[in-house]
Chain A
Amino acid sequence: MKKLIAAAVLLIVALIVLKSVLFTVPEYKQAVKVQLGSPVGGPITQAGLHFKAPLIQDIHLFDKRILEWDGDPEVIPTKDSKFIFVDTFARWRISNALTLYKKVDNEQGAQGRLDDILDGLVRDTLSAHTLLEIVRTSDRQMELGEESLTGPEAEGGQAAGREGQTHVHGLRDELTREITEAAKQRLKELDLGIELVDLEIKRLDYTDKVLRKVYDRMISQQLRIAEKYRALGQGKKAEIAGQVTEESKQIQSEAYKKAQEILGEGDARAARIYAAAYQKDARFYRFVETLQTYRKTLDERGVLILSTDSELYQYLKELK
């Protein structure tokens, strides 16, 4: 019984001792051994069980993974004096935990150093370029819509003199690479145990004041486009109205012309027929036609004055 108790106690004591001389470094961590305030040996990057001297040695763990760095959004004036908000982020890792521990204490210290280096580099690099150089990544010719229109419009509604039509050499990628390389170089020189992996421009926005102006410009452009469509509609309307008049006049006049020609043909044929017939005896024709005229023109309102010499009187007398 007593032996059993003794064994249990011994086991507990052994565990406590082991715990004070053994430590684990997880896969995603690295460690620095610190003896009475000063580090000993190199950084421990191998994950697993490790030994240390009890009591006098402390273990400081550092992250081995790629770590985040988030820049404060800063206002930067571009070369073409436009004010923009730039928000960057970076990814970095602790390349030498021992150096880092010695020079900046811990991760927070490292973040502070990164702030100093990166914010300045971003500002210096970007302010030496125009807005479009920073925003664009290539020099490809964009397909611009009506929104981009700035100058007067040329023939056929095609816009001329659009913004962006001028050749722009986009440098976004080059600039971020430039900043990254410069920062890497700076960190190497400073030897802080920090390695920069990557830097990206997360956001790039107009400042509020500029933003409002951009909105105003966009609105005015839209209203201008709207007015163009309205005018185009009205113009087209007038054009079609003109077309209606033109076409209907043409149709009507052509029809009139054709009708008159047809009537003329009829008249001509009739004249020829009449002439052919009546020429056979012109006198007789005149006689018959005169009689026809009498029949047609004399009616109940008429008053006939006959001379006693007239043929008719003679007839009448004879008839009596």
Chain B
Amino acid sequence: MDEKFKDRMEELRSRVPRKLTGGTVMGALAVVVLLIMALTSYYQVEPNETGGLLRFGRFVKTTAPGPHFKIPFGVDKVYRVKTDYQFKEEFGFRTEHAGVRSRYSTADFTKESEMLTGDQNIATVTWVVQYRIHDPRKYLFEVRDVPGTIRDVAEATMRAVVGDQSFNEVIRQKRQEIELAVKQRMQKILDLYQSGVTIKLVQLQDVHPPAPVKDSFDEVNRARQEMDQAINQSYQQYNKVIYRVKGEAQQMVKEAEGSKVERINQALGDAARFNKLLAEYRRAPEVTRRRLYLETMRKVLPRLRQIYVVDDNMKGMMPLMDLRESTAGKGGAQ
């Protein structure tokens, strides 16, 4: 070492306190280095994760949850993958805050959710995809931006599947078939990419006609209701009339039955009476005849207003007889 450097060292040494010798400086440095080593050679894998350890960039092993050692100073690098976590991607809507009453983003996602159906109509489809990472090594090192890839594949797949269904099938009938088809198709593509991801669930959420035509669909529902209402009202009227008419018909028949019986009984009664009378008449015809006649007259004549007697031998209505006086014994005569 040259003189200049020596002088400089002497100068520096005179400035620091006497007790701090070179030995203590080196010791302190060593402690700091050891501390850094201790801190950087330890890592923790969380319970739902798997660690992937790279040594000099090369994949060495995966590590289970818990504390682990690694070589510090950037020799070992640890990548963490949430292998037990069920990831979720939303299409056509976004949950901003999940909870008892989830809040959803009010942004417009119609570009994402509106799609062509196989009969050239348009349906609005919202859905959810859930997936898990089954192979952390593939997930980390085979595909760049796996979540973005899953979104792309999900959109392409849903549209391909919906494109082969009629609007009617998409809206009303084939939800489960669509979900299953999308799941299988997605898995096939993601396996082709070696993404290390398993699609666990494809779930259609709201599937409905696009907003601009929604009113007309409501109109159809209203019309259906109106039709049902009209039919119900008609049957109400039907019931009201028909059951009454049936009752009235029954009444008419019953009354006729009654009249019939009455008529027959009357006839029987009349006949019986006549027969009895006839029997007596035959026993004494002349007397009975007269008696009957006079009885009747006695009953009838007093009721009459006027009685004229006309003599055939005379012209006109002459000798007026006060018959009433003599027969009934009361009332005036003209």
Is A277 engaged at the interface, CB distance under 8 Å to the other chain? yes
Chain B residues closer than 8 Å to A13, beta-carbon distance: none
Chain A residues closer than 8 Å to B224, beta-carbon distance: 229
Measured between alpha carbons, how far is A308 from B238 in the docked complex, in Å?
72
| Cβ-closest chain B residue relative to A311 | B293
Measured between alpha carbons, how far is A307 from B77 in the docked complex, in Å?
153
| Contact size range, B | 35 or more
Chain B's nearest CB lies how many Å from the CB of A240? 4
Contacting pair A140 B260 (CB below 8 A):
no
A225-255: which have CB < 8 Å to B?
Answer: 225-230, 232-234, 236-237, 239-241, 243-244, 247-248, 251-252, 254-255
| Cβ-closest chain A residue relative to B172 | A145
A201-215: which have CB < 8 Å to B?
Answer: 201-206, 211, 214-215
Q: A233-B229, A240-B234, A241-B237 are in contact. Are A315 and B297 (CB under 8 A)?
A: yes
Measured between alpha carbons, how far is A26 from B235 in the docked complex, in Å?
80
- Interface window among B125-133, B187-195, B197-205: B187-195
Is B271 engaged at the interface, CB distance under 8 Å to the other chain? yes
A contacts with B: majority SS: helix
Q: Which of A148, A237, A291 contacts B292 (CB 8 A)?
A: A291
Contacting pair B57 A48 (CB below 8 A):
yes
Measured between alpha carbons, how far is A303 from B334 in the docked complex, in Å?
12
Measured between alpha carbons, how far is A237 from B160 in the docked complex, in Å?
45
Chain A residues closer than 8 Å to B163, beta-carbon distance: 135-137, 170, 172, 204
Contacting pair A280 B278 (CB below 8 A):
yes
Is A281 engaged at the interface, CB distance under 8 Å to the other chain? yes
Measured between alpha carbons, how far is A197 from B275 in the docked complex, in Å?
121
Chain B's nearest CB lies how many Å from the CB of A139? 9
Contacting pair B156 A148 (CB below 8 A):
no
Measured between alpha carbons, how far is A247 from B234 in the docked complex, in Å?
14
Chain B residues closer than 8 Å to A248, beta-carbon distance: 241-242, 245
Chain B residues closer than 8 Å to A251, beta-carbon distance: 242, 245-246, 249
Chain A's nearest CB lies how many Å from the CB of B9? 10
Contacting pair A315 B293 (CB below 8 A):
yes
B48-106: which have CB < 8 Å to A?
Answer: 54-59, 77
Is A58 engaged at the interface, CB distance under 8 Å to the other chain? no
Contacting pair A269 B305 (CB below 8 A):
no
| Cβ-closest chain B residue relative to A254 | B249
Is A36 engaged at the interface, CB distance under 8 Å to the other chain? no
Q: Which of B140, B267, B282, B310 contacts A307 (CB 8 A)?
A: B310
Contacting pair A299 B307 (CB below 8 A):
no
| Cβ-closest chain B residue relative to A201 | B156
Measured between alpha carbons, how far is A222 from B271 in the docked complex, in Å?
80
Chain B's nearest CB lies how many Å from the CB of A296? 9
Contacting pair A218 B216 (CB below 8 A):
yes
Q: Which of B55, B216, B245, B308 contacts A305 (CB 8 A)?
A: B308
B25-63: which have CB < 8 Å to A?
Answer: 26, 54-59
Chain A residues closer than 8 Å to B118, beta-carbon distance: 132, 135-136, 142, 164, 168, 170
Chain A residues closer than 8 Å to B109, beta-carbon distance: none
Chain B's nearest CB lies how many Å from the CB of A291? 4
Chain B residues closer than 8 Å to A147, beta-carbon distance: 119, 121, 167-168
Contacting pair B233 A237 (CB below 8 A):
yes
Q: Which of B141, B209, B268 contacts A65 (CB 8 A)?
A: B141
Most chain B C-beta atoms within 10 Å of own C-beta, residue among A222, A232, A269? A222
1/0 contact string of A292-316 vs chain B (CB within 8 Å): 0011001111111111110111011
Contacting pair A197 B223 (CB below 8 A):
no
Is B12 engaged at the interface, CB distance under 8 Å to the other chain? no
Residues of B within 8 A of A (CB): 22-23, 26, 54-59, 77, 111, 114-122, 140-145, 148-149, 152-153, 155-157, 159-161, 163-169, 171-173, 189, 192-194, 209-210, 212-213, 215-217, 219-220, 222-224, 226-231, 233-235, 237-238, 241-242, 245-246, 248-250, 252-253, 255-257, 259-264, 266-268, 270-272, 274-275, 277-278, 281-282, 285, 289-290, 292-294, 296-297, 299-301, 303-313, 317, 323, 326-327
Q: A203-B111, A273-B267, A291-B296 are in contact. List 20 more A-B contacts (CB 8 A).
A: A26-B54, A137-B164, A142-B166, A143-B169, A147-B121, A148-B167, A200-B189, A204-B115, A204-B116, A206-B116, A221-B216, A222-B213, A229-B227, A233-B231, A255-B253, A271-B267, A281-B281, A295-B300, A303-B308, A308-B310
Pick 17 A–B contacts, CB within 8 A, sort by A: A1-B22, A27-B140, A49-B56, A164-B120, A201-B159, A205-B114, A206-B116, A262-B256, A263-B263, A266-B263, A269-B264, A295-B296, A300-B303, A304-B301, A306-B307, A315-B290, A319-B294
